[in-house]
Structure 1
Amino acid sequence: MTHTLKEFAPAFFGGIFFTLSIGAGLSLFSVGFAWFYDRISGRSKTILIPIIILWIVLCLAANSQGFCPVVLSYFLIVPPVVFIAALKWMPEQRKKGLWLNRLLHILPVAVLMMLWTAHANQSPFQDIRDYLLLSNRVGEKINNFYYRYTMYPAEVFKSLEQKTLKPCRVAPITDKAFARRIDNTLIRYDYLPVNADAPVEIEIDEAAKNLVFKYKGDMVLQSTDKDFFSFPEKVLKNLAVEVDRHVFFRQATIFCLVLGFPVVLYVMVFALVRFVLSFLVGATPSSVAAATICFSIGLALLLPLSCAKTRMVDPSNLSEALNSESRQHRVAALKTIVRQRLEIGDLQACRRMSSSPHISERLWLARAFGLSRHPETYQLLLTLLDDPCPNVVCKAFYALGQRGDRRAEKEIMKRIERSDHWYSQLYAYKALRQLGWRQEMATKCVQGNISGQELSEYRPSHK
């Protein structure tokens, strides 16, 4: 599916993802500073100076690990453009009902943020996926859009350690046995040695019985042969840290996705509702109604998460919960099985849930199958590899790797060959690696000398 990843849609929608995360967050903070500068300080130059200093510091922090024009452009262009535009089109301040007007805009957002934060747990994105997105058709489309179009563009800004495959070049070494040992160690950690003419960022050379690691031609790390072969994971992790240029950008993107996007979404809905209502009632009543509607929507979206948080299943009542008429109770039972690493013993319930119309139920069933050792659950797990939802397919691949049954390799290879989904292929590859598969022919694949069909027919090694 490599050719599809270079098409317009993944590039365009990947850009939309960054626009709605880092772009939305930077825009939100810029508007906030513009509002403070205009409404609170009265456009005082004394306040403008620290705002400019903060913007300069932000630009420097974005490139503190190394210069990247794409990353810099977000922080260099978005804040000043939004700040100036906000000041230009900011309406005149009304003296009548000033504080009421401010409370209408600030209080609902602040209360919603506190309520959502109070209900957050260790896996908030997982709960949003299970109880909001995968529980309705619109949410499913948003979920499928996210996993189809945003994961591949995000690879650009991942750390070296987070990347699935890392092409590298090993300089010619006269000792062929030593060179093979280096190659095998690199391959074991998904670093794929390629031809001398292939474009790569990571190069490994030998100098005075040391291994020299270069990034874009510059030396970034040295390691003795003994350390590399004894502690390869530690050495390669240090390499990933040394070449990581996007730490600040990733952290800012996540922060803006969590904070900026919801607030921008609130503002957009508020503006739309207020605009429509302004034709029917006055400015203040329409603002009150819009704030009430947006606040109610925020509470309504929080309610499923709040109810899910209170559902706990006693391990002694798992069979009863798995056969419950309530989807939420069945999912809660499956989560209990996964978290406490239990064997799912009710095969009749398993058969029924494997064809459930509810995606979250099939997803957590796949996770539970990863802990099972019953032969029938293995067969049911294989059927989930052909599920129409990519989330379920990914968890089925993950479960096959977790089970450690090497019979699954052929089934996984078969799915990789016909899959057109980046995220599914990623999980399939990780499952193969967990089963002990080693990509002796992967370097040919990276160089374009082997087709997907040849790779699927290749007999994997477990050395």
Structure 2
Amino acid sequence: MNLRIRNNLKFLFLIFSGLLFSQIISFFEILNSNKELFLKSKALLNETYFFFTPSHGVSDSLLKYSTAFFGSISITFTSGIFLTFSGLLAALIYIKSIKKNFLLSLLIFLYLILIFFLKSLFFFAAVPALIFFLTIKLKPELKTDLNFIFTVILIFASGFLYKGEAIFSDIRDKVLLNNKAGIIINNFYYNYTMYPAELIKPLNAKKLKLCKLTGFNNNEKKRLEKILLNLNFFTVKKKSPHIDLYLEKNNNKLQLISSGKKFYIENTFSKKIFNEIIEKISYKTDSKLFFRKITIAGLFMLPFLFLYFIWFSLKTLFSYFLSYNKASFFSSILLLITIIYFFSPILYTPEINRINLSQKINSPKKLIRLQALKYAFSNKIYIENLSNHLDSDFIPEISWAILNLKVKTSDDLNIIFKKTKSKYINIRYKAYQKIGGVSGIFEKQVYKFLKQNYPNIKNWYVQWYAYTYTKKIIH
């Protein structure tokens, strides 16, 4: 076997081993997190005065092994990637180092300091350690291919310089939701990444939080419950081992207890003060900051890994009938052309203004219609007839048409109600967002619809989106 190919296969084996080990560990992490979410959901649903919660229709699915398995994939391909490459890089530095004893001592020292400050010790300690020792055993040679590096830098630099952070939403709307394979990836994201995210969120960002009040009279409880509900804390009357915040009245002070830590504020009903103290508590009790940091780092590494896999496959294929340098060059060129072809819609943004809006919104090109609908929504421009857009086969176009629809009659409202039953997740959650903005004479009709349909929502993200936008109606 060609030495270069054998060396590359070593790297692929190391990466695969790291991801597999990450998947196994994160599966059990998510399984435990899901169990806690389930018990918290049940504790909340047992409170009969809560008719609408962010966990009405999804709590039972949290105990399934398949839910934990697919949810852990999101951890594997973010944090797992970062930890795998951290162990790989540390080992490569060690192999190349002249003063191996000193470097090994330094790496062990830094390693021990790192895990000392972490609570998920096994996950963060085991993955890089395994890859470190596997890499030392296999001793792969790191050979930089400038063709690939130049190609990747060119692709990402041009994209981010042109679009900035908006590139992520454009990838979803213009690339993923523009083809069947992309829709599958999009659905996987919305089905299996929302609840695992609860594992690494600080207190103020968690979707489902329980609070127990002690020492308050009925009037004080009602006022506090309203304040806390705006911060997404559900006050429960019954005892539960999964309470996120205990709030006790102690003379003229309020004592707040979270994760065993106590905080004190003056006896108050100020929304501003409660916002500030919850932010402080969240910061002081946050044990998952590092977890989130490496998750984000891994998320940014994922596209590079995906591109490398494509490039490596092309290069291996070309190397059967071309020299190594030519195979590397042509695979890089082909990769660049392919990426430009698929991502060219992102780089193209038509100029839309109030003068040409009516023309653009009826364009035969769906991406131009989409951009026109976004422009109309952001500038609060009323569109008279949206029927063609609502009946489109392009998911983002339907979603933005829903947001642009002005509810003037019961028929308009029924159109939105119907869209909440769409087979597409993106359309469903946008429909609930629109329902949350309905007011006036239609509120009773909306409340009746929500009471009948809200508990039956089976998607975690859609139910949370629905709750967020409609809680002022349902509570």
- TM-score w.r.t. structure 2 length? 0.78
Does residue 402 (structure 1) correspond to residue 437 (structure 2)? The answer is yes
- SS in structure 2 of the partner of residue 226 of structure 1: coil
Residue range with higher mean Cα deviation, 331-340 or 235-244 = 235-244
Query: How does 1:37-436 map onto structure 2 within 5 Å?
Result: 37-38=94-95, 41=97, 55-56=111-112, 58-59=114-115, 63=117, 67-69=118-120, 72-92=121-141, 102-171=145-214, 173=215, 175-199=217-241, 200-216=243-259, 218-226=260-268, 228=270, 231-257=273-299, 259-307=300-348, 310-345=349-384, 347=385, 350-369=386-405, 372-375=406-409, 377-404=412-439, 405-406=442-443, 407-435=445-473
Q: CA deviation at 1:145?
A: 0.8
* CA-CA distance at 1:430 after TM superposition: 1.4
How far off its partner does 1:306 sit?
0.6
Q: Report deviation, 1:250.
A: 1.8
Q: Is the 8 A contact 1:169 1:203 kept in 2?
A: yes
Once residues 412 and 355 of structure 1 are traced to their aligned partners in structure 2, the CA distance between those partners, rounded to angstroms, is 24
Deviation at 1:4, TM superposition (A): 1.0
Structure 1 residue ranges without an equivalent (≥5): 439-463
For 1:170 and 1:17, locate their aligned partners in 2 and report how far apart those are by CA, in whole Å.
36
Q: Deviation string for 1:375-416 (max 9, x for gaps)?
A: 364343233222211111111111221333523222233332
CA contact 1:343–1:373 (8 Å) conserved in 2: no
For 1:117, the aligned partner's letter is F
Q: Structure 2 vs 1, CA of residues 229 and 366 (structure 1 numbering), >3 Å: closer, same or farther?
A: closer
Output one character per residue of 1:175-225: Cα deviation in whole Å (capped at 9) or x when no partner: 444344433433343322224432223211222321111123x23321111
Query: How many Å separate the matches in 1 of 2:93 and 2:85?
Result: 12
| Cα distance, 1:122–1:279 mapped onto 2, change above 3 Å | closer
Kept in 2: contact 1:351–1:380 (CA 8 A): no
Q: Separation in 1 of the partners of 2:107 and 2:466?
A: 48
Please report how far the alpha carbon of residue 426 of structure 1 lies from its aligned counterpart in structure 2 after TM superposition: 0.9
Q: Distance in 2 between matches of 1:316 and 1:390?
A: 33
Gaps of 5+ in 2: 1-57
Deviations 1:407-447 (A, max 9, x none): 32222333323221111111111122143x31xxxxxxxxx
Q: Hey, what does 1:451 align to over in structure 2?
A: none
Determine the C-alpha separation between the residues in 2 that align with 1:428 and 1:317. 34
Q: TM-score, normalised by structure 1?
A: 0.80
Displacement of 1:317 after TM fit?
A: 2.0
Encode CA deviations 1:56-101: one digit per residue, 9 max, x unaligned.
56545xx4xxx522xx3343222232233334334457xxxx7xx6
Counterpart for residue 21 of structure 1: 78
Q: Secondary structure at the match of 1:315?
A: coil
- AA at the equivalent of 1:302: F
1:42/1:143 Cα in 2 relative to 1: closer, same or farther (>3 Å)?
farther
For residue 373 of structure 1, report the CA deviation from its aligned partner: 4.7
CA distance in 1, matches of 2:168, 2:216: 51
Q: Which runs of 4 or more aligned residues in structure 1 lie more than 6 Å from their structure 2 counterparts after TM superposition?
A: none
- In structure 2, relative to structure 1, the CA distance for the partners of 1:121 and 1:414 (3 Å cut) is farther
- Are the aligned partners of 1:28 and 1:264 in contact in 2 as well (CA < 8 Å)? no
How many residues are matched? 413
Q: Select the structure with the greater relative contact order (CA < 8 A; seq sep ≥ 6).
A: 2
Taking a change above 3 Å as real, the CA distance of residues 120 and 323 of structure 1, as seen in their structure-2 partners, is closer
Cα distance between partner residues in 2 of 1:292 and 1:48 = 40
Specify the code of the residue in structure 2 equivalent to 1:124: I
Equivalent residue, structure 2, for 1:443:
none
Calculate percent identity across the aligned residue pairs: 23
